[in-house]
Chains A and B, each alone.
Chain A
Amino acid sequence: MRPFEYAAPASTQEAVALLAEHGERARVLGGGTDLIVDLKHKPGSVAMLVDVTAIPELLGIEETDEGLRIGAMVKYGEIMESPICNELTPEIVAASHTVGAVQTRNLGTIGGNLVTCVPSADSAPSLLVLDAEVTIAGNDGSRRVPLQNFFVGPRKTCLEPYELLVDIWIPKANLGKPSKFLKFGLRKGQALALVNAAAALYLDKQGAIFEPRIALGAVAPVPMRATKAEAHLAGKKPTEALLHEAAEIAVTECKPIDDFRASANYRRQLVRTMTYRTLQRSVEIASQR
């Protein structure tokens, strides 16, 4: 790697100040599983790395009156071993388990994955279906943004250059919401997703679906919600036919690309299968309640 400077600020304020001072030549260093690789491949553009992994405000998993808070610098390995997450958001745990391998999960952070903002970000769909929000800290304090609006384009979030992702919130109402996450890659271990899919829904007393959510990864410029498919489900009894219809609608909503990993057509087939399967499993969980 080409030379750069390294700083490990102790607080969010310090970090934000460093970012503001160094402008575009500074980069935030989280687990480094993406950034260090980038620096090895495309050296030279970065003069300062601001390591935020030890900032206390960015750490920790906790349940509050508001909901579940996951610090941006919480590692996947920590999520997998967190009793709170295993109990309240098992599909975020499941999604974390599909990221890389043990060694990368012990380095990589959930916030880093969101900030990198690749379409295939494994953590995104399971968070999107639980209506996750993120806290962003900047020079003038912090703001809260729905995760859906956080993603702007491929490798582009709504973060300003001097801003920092602090934590991720799952609203209290969605803790324990019946949900399912599935990832499809080119192999079982250490796979990049060809398609990620997650669903979450409740069944009301009459057995009708309410608050259905479907999120898809790697099939659009950013991780996306299949809102038309969701609307098709709302208020209806979850018959097999209905779930298949929703899956077909999701296929029309996604915008996959052809690349060397898979064709757009095949990705659409995966969206069809995986949307159905995540919905079907979510319904199954909901009806067992």
Chain B
Amino acid sequence: MATTVKDVKKAAEALETNKDLTTPAVKPVTLPRDNPVVYPLTLPESEARLRTPAVGQRASRPDGRLHGLGQTKYIDDLTFPHMIHAKILRSEHAHARIISIDTSEAEAMPGVLATLTGREIPVNSFGPTLQDQPVLAAEVVRHRGDGVAAVAAVTEQIAADALEKIKVVYEPLPAVFDPMEALKDEIKVHPPASNIYASKVIKKGDVEKALAQSDHVFHRVFRTQMVEHVPLEPHSSIALWDGNGRVTIYSSLGRITLGREDLSRTLKLPQSKVRLVGTIVGGNFGGKNEITNEPILALLSKKTGRPVKCTFTRGDEFISSTIRHPFIMDYKTGVNKEGKILARKIHLVLDGGAYCSWTGTTIGKGSILAPGPYEIDNLHVEAYAVYTNKTTTGAMRGFGAPQVCFAYESQMDDIATKLGIDPLEIRLRNAFSEGSASPTSQVLQSVAVKESLIQASERFGWEDRPR
């Protein structure tokens, strides 16, 4: 592709000859707006898909071919006649009282068909365990991702322009961002409730005694960060409210049964009046397990009598969808000379962001898994989740497990280093076996941690390096 003077001349000539193409004299006929994907009608059969027994086959996915052809339809690929587009205005403050919202100027714009504010939502709250999150904030905004108003317009650009015409008057409130600060309850995110909205305790044996009797006690604090799921497909949904008062919603949601429950609740409609359709989700990882803008679109569709679509921008995806809980993890572990863990005392603080979301499952799994896959007779795990005026943290691949694994496995190597024991060996000395008791005293079955350690070490060649 190296360009030379000759190439430039050639390019100029090509431009010349292409003149007809670039400035056609007659407007050519545009082909109908169909989807002209080219694909062969006779398709090769995949052998693994044809074999019995089916289990254990490396069968290819039926959607694999459609992915490759560009034929898979995600929500944003769907259009309906007369479909319009919605955009959501987000908060200007991390914490503020909403004094007033004036949408009149936006509504007067040509191309704008409707606006919506939180007060118009029949039941303006949702959440999988605590219903503490508004669909659109009506009284108080608790983080910058809170939506305060929505606009439906004939194009996305007009909807975006209209957002700038909405006048929201706020009374800023003091905000708290640091979870350790938030624990003090000096600034409350959901007053009068405490910022501590979830906690968990797991106790077994006598930790203090066992720590006192340990040959070595290891203590360290570990921290993890906020992480976004980054599905390549941003959240997208389309709502169609029909003449029978029934609403159909196409959504990139990963859990439609419970999504329908949430919609029925927020819209105050019987479940039979709500149909939720999911196509393939373009990446979920826990981030698409809650409704976001679906009730808003339903109500905008009701107001306008048109299908309404909203696809998140990448920015929306970051600030208004959920993200992974940061953990602050205080680990104290007592071991004997042989590296056997005698006691582990763990204190976890989860930065919950502005709303509860999937914190229940995260704090549950995080606490139970925190001691690691090890037989430990004396345990004390205490975990607290606190509200802060930041992005809501929710479900993300692992529900707290990647966080605590970072802590318990880092400390395992600290112990190994100090005692001069090989990292593989110290794990084998402590790991669960079939029938071991878990931190909650559950008798474990189908245990394979030692097997995985040995097999991985063999594959890696762990023993190849002299100690």
Instruction: Give yes or no for direct A-B contact (beta carbon below 8 Å).
Output: yes
Q: Which residues of A approach B to under 8 Å, CB–CB?
A: 1-2, 54, 56, 59-62, 71, 74, 77-78, 81-85
**Known contacts A1-B157, A2-B157; A61 and B2 CB within 8 A of each other:** yes
**Known contacts A59-B11, A60-B7; A81 and B157 CB within 8 A of each other:** no
SS of B interface (majority): helix
CA distance A85 to B4 in the complex (A): 11
Closest residue on chain B to residue A70 by CB atoms? B3
Closest residue on chain B to residue A60 by CB atoms? B8
Residues of B within 8 Å of A59, CB to CB, are 3, 7-8, 11
Set B3, B11, B15, B157: member contacting A61, Cβ < 8 A:
B3
Cβ contact within 8 Å between A74 and B3? yes
SS of A interface (majority): mixed
Cβ contact within 8 Å between A78 and B157? no
Residues of A within 8 Å of B8, CB to CB, are 56, 59-60, 71
CA distance A280 to B300 in the complex (A): 65
The minimal Cβ–Cβ distance linking B465 to chain A, given in whole angstroms, is 27
CA distance A84 to B2 in the complex (A): 8
Q: What are the 8 A-B residue pairs with the smallest beta carbon separation, nearest first?
A: A82-B2, A81-B1, A60-B8, A59-B8, A60-B3, A56-B8, A78-B3, A56-B12
Residues of A within 8 Å of B9, CB to CB, are 56
CA distance A83 to B2 in the complex (A): 7
Residues of B within 8 Å of A54, CB to CB, are 11, 15
The minimal Cβ–Cβ distance linking B228 to chain A, given in whole angstroms, is 15
Set B4, B15, B157: member contacting A62, Cβ < 8 A:
B4
**B 1-29 contacts with A by CB, 8 A:** 1-5, 7-9, 11-12, 15
The minimal Cβ–Cβ distance linking A283 to chain B, given in whole angstroms, is 30
Cβ contact within 8 Å between A78 and B5? no
Closest residue on chain A to residue B1 by CB atoms? A81
Residues of B within 8 Å of A61, CB to CB, are 2-4
Contact sample, A vs B, 8 pairs, CB 8 Å cutoff:
A54-B15, A61-B2, A61-B3, A62-B4, A78-B3, A82-B2, A82-B3, A84-B2
CA distance A2 to B157 in the complex (A): 7
The minimal Cβ–Cβ distance linking A66 to chain B, given in whole angstroms, is 14
Closest residue on chain B to residue A85 by CB atoms? B2
CA distance A78 to B8 in the complex (A): 12
CA distance A71 to B8 in the complex (A): 10
Cβ contact within 8 Å between B2 and A78? yes
The minimal Cβ–Cβ distance linking B314 to chain A, given in whole angstroms, is 11
CA distance A124 to B274 in the complex (A): 58
The minimal Cβ–Cβ distance linking B258 to chain A, given in whole angstroms, is 35
CA distance A84 to B11 in the complex (A): 19
Residues of A within 8 Å of B3, CB to CB, are 59-61, 71, 74, 78, 82
Cβ contact within 8 Å between B1 and A77? yes
CA distance A54 to B157 in the complex (A): 29
Residues of A within 8 Å of B5, CB to CB, are 60, 62
Residues of A within 8 Å of B15, CB to CB, are 54
Residues of B within 8 Å of A82, CB to CB, are 1-3
Residues of B within 8 Å of A1, CB to CB, are 157
**Known contacts A1-B157, A2-B157; A56 and B1 CB within 8 A of each other:** no
- Can you add 5 more A-B contacts, CB < 8 Å, to A60-B4, A60-B8? A54-B15, A56-B12, A61-B2, A77-B1, A84-B2
Residues of B within 8 Å of A2, CB to CB, are 157, 161
Residues of A within 8 Å of B7, CB to CB, are 59-60
CA distance A54 to B15 in the complex (A): 9
CA distance A83 to B3 in the complex (A): 9
**Known contacts A1-B157, A2-B157; A56 and B11 CB within 8 A of each other:** yes
Cβ contact within 8 Å between A81 and B12? no
Residues of A within 8 Å of B12, CB to CB, are 56
CA distance A59 to B161 in the complex (A): 38
CA distance A77 to B161 in the complex (A): 36
Residues of A within 8 Å of B11, CB to CB, are 54, 56, 59
Residues of A within 8 Å of B157, CB to CB, are 1-2
CA distance A84 to B7 in the complex (A): 14
Residues of B within 8 Å of A85, CB to CB, are 2
The minimal Cβ–Cβ distance linking A75 to chain B, given in whole angstroms, is 8
**Known contacts A1-B157, A56-B11; A78 and B4 CB within 8 A of each other:** no
Residues of A within 8 Å of B1, CB to CB, are 77-78, 81-82
Q: Which of B3, B8, B12 has the most CB of A within 10 A?
A: B3
Q: Which of B5, B12, B157, B161 has the most CB of A within 10 A?
A: B5
